[in-house]
Structure 1
Amino acid sequence: MKGTIIRKIKKSDNDALLKLIRAVFEEHNAPKEGTVYSDPTTSDLYALFSNESAVLWVGEVNGVVVGCCGIYPTAGLPPYCAELVKFYLNPAFRGIGLGKALMNKSIESAKSLGYDKIYLESFPEFSNAIKMYENMGFRLLQEPLGNSGHHACSIWMLRSEEIRKL
């Protein structure tokens, strides 16, 4: 789509991303407690992703933030495993390839950061995203990995083929 860019998060994105994430949860009537919705770090994603082992990509169309997706080294994950996090899109910008581009950018970032496995957590309410995860090589797990603090999540997935650069 013309006017679309994917770039790393800037401090000025914090408010727009907080609103976007909360709007997606409200749109799907997803659980709010024990999730990113109520996680205090969601209000300052720029600070959270200032970690050299993490990255948050922001999708922008004509200067407006419309999506995000990133990689984060969640505590308690197995060695060389990071979490795919904060994958959210404004509904008006779904189905045009921006979500897939954000996810691919995040997977490439995981490779360049030295990870060979990518974990994610989700909800049944995000069924379209779950289909996309499966199409991108993620497989369902029976229990969670790591310590994200998002205890309300009930779907856990892992992409574990060797993606790390050797």
Structure 2
Amino acid sequence: MAHRIRKITPEDNPTVAHFIRSVFDEMGIAKVGTAYEDVTLDRMFETYQAANTTYFVVEEEGELIGGAGIAPLSGAEAHVCELQKMYFSPKARGRGIGSEMITYCMDFAREAGYTLAYLETMPYMHAAKKLYAKTGFTPINGPMGDTGHYSCNVWMTKAL
């Protein structure tokens, strides 16, 4: 099936919030201290309109099946961005869409002037960690910035 990656629109907000929360439910991810609690989850379009910030969605046959964003890492130097809220529905997984999405995000990050990308994930998110490593992210020993996601205890960076 053909898919396309595009920037989020205001009409995408309810669907994006729903599929992100459904991934948390499906995988039994902690809801406290994670993106699940972020007040921005229901206003993703508005949240990602700031300078040097974007959120991409993957659409297939009129259905949103994933998304990921880039934003400045809160509490960090201006050259550091964060890969944020990268989640995919089961039908998007294992098809190379995640790698494609990371490429879109890292290209945007470079164009925005970032030189380092940071992300946080969970230790049991094995497929995600494998994808991040495959796309050039390496583990670091502790968190950077101030994301508020204290339940995420795997931290990775990638030089841009």
Confirm or deny a common fold (TM above 0.5): yes
Partner of 1:94: 93
- The answer to whether the 8 Å contact 1:30/1:125 transfers is no
Number of residue pairs aligned between Structure 1 and Structure 2:
160
CA distance in 2: counterparts of 1:74 and 1:42, whole angstroms: 17
- The answer to whether the 8 Å contact 1:60/1:67 transfers is yes
Residue 109 of structure 2: SS of its match in structure 1? helix
CA distance in 1: counterparts of 2:66 and 2:99, whole angstroms: 11
- The answer to whether the 8 Å contact 2:72/2:78 transfers is no
Over aligned residues, Cα RMSD in angstroms? 1.0
Following superposition, which runs of at least 4 residues in structure 1 exceed 3 angstroms of deviation?
A: none
Q: Give CA deviations for 1:61-119 in whole Å, capped at 9, x if unaligned.
A: 01111100111112112341100011111111111121111111001000100011000
Partner of 2:113: 114
- The answer to whether the 8 Å contact 2:73/2:118 transfers is no
- The residue identity in structure 2 corresponding to 1:61 is E
Partner of 1:19: 18
Percent identity of equivalent pairs: 34
Structural mapping, 1:3-152, within 5 Å: 4-152=3-151
- The residue identity in structure 2 corresponding to 1:125 is Y
Residue 128 of structure 1: SS of its match in structure 2? helix
CA distance in 1: counterparts of 2:147 and 2:113, whole angstroms: 20
Gaps of 5+ in 1: none
Gaps of 5+ in 2: none
**Scaled by the length of structure 2, what TM-score is found?**
0.96
Compute the displacement of 1:149 (Å): 1.2
Compute the displacement of 1:42 (Å): 0.8
CA distance in 2: counterparts of 1:79 and 1:139, whole angstroms: 20
Compute the displacement of 1:125 (Å): 2.7
- The residue identity in structure 2 corresponding to 1:35 is T
CA distance in 2: counterparts of 1:97 and 1:143, whole angstroms: 29
Residue 33 of structure 1: SS of its match in structure 2? coil
Partner of 2:158: 159
**Scaled by the length of structure 1, what TM-score is found?**
0.93
Compute the displacement of 1:39 (Å): 1.1
